[in-house]
Amino acid sequence: VKLTFTTIYSKGKGSAGTIAVLQDVTDQEKLEESRREFVANVSHELRTPLTTIKSYLEALEDGALEDPQLSAKFVSVTRNETERMIRLVTDLLQLSRLDSRQAVISRELTDVAEMLDEVADRFSFQLEQRSIDIAIQVAPEVGEITLDRDRIDQVLDNLVSNAIKYTADSGLISIGAHRPEPQLLEISVQDNGMGIPKKDLSRIFERFYRVDKARSRSMGGTGLGLSIAREIVRAHGGTIMLESELGQGTRVTFTLPYTLNEEAAV
């Protein structure tokens, strides 16, 4: 609770009195605080790649350009950092649209099994390179559901790319879909990777929250993947949760409601 005193002056007469205002500001202050933290995070996240790019460009200017091998390496680092900044800004724009409810969810009827197969296809090169196996299991009653295909693809891509990022070579990723209730689709992405310490679990969906910032960055992560996934799932009227055991693996599960028409088709 905040107490503010305001002195009222009336023309020519000096002070006319004081107004005391009692106000519950805890929520407001929390919001302000998280906004400040967000801006500080964004600035830091953009500054880091920019500083790297600057130092590599300076090294090129200072003579590395003459060395073909070195210059190729420096240019490639610079390009990677630029790409990460583009991803970051794209993610931020997407989050800001979802926040301001400007994002229109345009649903189309989608075959879930087909959609999951396509996700695995998109990652087939990376999976093969790292010898990671992917298993997809779709219960027969899952069928079709209306969803915003582009956005749910993004959720799936974020979850599968995390599963790949945080799993050692020769690991296993399982994607499952089933229908625990007639009007509910449940999709889970599970890996047998490094897992997440208990103390970090409650904050894992927060923007820019990462267990290991350096590792995430070196993997090209922005720290926004899970928060974007949560906003998209919420915009569909669903829920998302993450379970993890350190050293054992991680499972992210999200639900999406079937619309009435699909429910009738059961």
Q: Which of residues 30-49 bind ligand ADP (CB under 6 A)?
A: none
CB 155 within 8 A of CB 208: no
Contact status: 81 vs ligand ADP (CB under 6 A)? no
Contact status: 158 vs ligand ADP (CB under 6 A)? yes
Contact status: 188 vs ligand ADP (CB under 6 A)? no
Instruction: Name the minimum Å distance from CB 193 to ligand ADP.
Output: 5
Between CA 157 and CA 192 the distance in angstroms is 18
Query: Binding ligand ADP by CB under 6 A: which of 53, 142, 163, 175?
Result: 163
Query: Binding ligand ADP by CB under 6 A: which of 116, 132, 194, 240?
Result: 194
**Integer Rg of the chain from CA:** 24
Query: Binding ligand ADP by CB under 6 A: which of 78, 162, 188, 255?
Result: 162
Give the DSSP letter string of 205-257.
TSTT--S-HHHHHHTT--S-HHHHHHHHHHHTT--EEEEEETTTEEEEEEEEE
Contact status: 216 vs ligand ADP (CB under 6 A)? yes
Query: Which CB atom, from 64 or from 132, has the smaller least distance to ligand ADP?
Result: 132
Query: Binding ligand ADP by CB under 6 A: which of 49, 171, 176, 223?
Result: 223
Instruction: Name the minimum Å distance from CB 98 to ligand ADP.
Output: 14
Residue type present at position 266: V
* Sign of the Cα pseudo-torsion (50, 55, 61, 67, in order): negative
Query: Binding ligand ADP by CB under 6 A: which of 49, 193, 238, 257?
Result: 193
The stretch near ligand ADP (CB under 6 A) out of 26-34, 96-104, 174-182, 208-216 is: 208-216
Q: Residues binding ligand ADP: what is the number (CB under 6 A)?
A: 22
Between CA 171 and CA 195 the distance in angstroms is 13
Between CA 146 and CA 153 the distance in angstroms is 13
Query: Which CB atom, from 144 or from 206, has the smaller least distance to ligand ADP?
Result: 206
Give the DSSP letter string of 76-119.
HHHHHHHHHHHHHHHHHHHHHHHHTT------EEEEHHHHHHHH
Question: How is residue 44 written in tokens?
Answer: 């830091």
Instruction: Name the minimum Å distance from CB 217 to ligand ADP.
Output: 8
Contact status: 221 vs ligand ADP (CB under 6 A)? yes
Binding site for ligand ADP (CB under 6 A): 158, 162-163, 166, 191, 193-196, 204, 210-212, 216, 221-227, 250
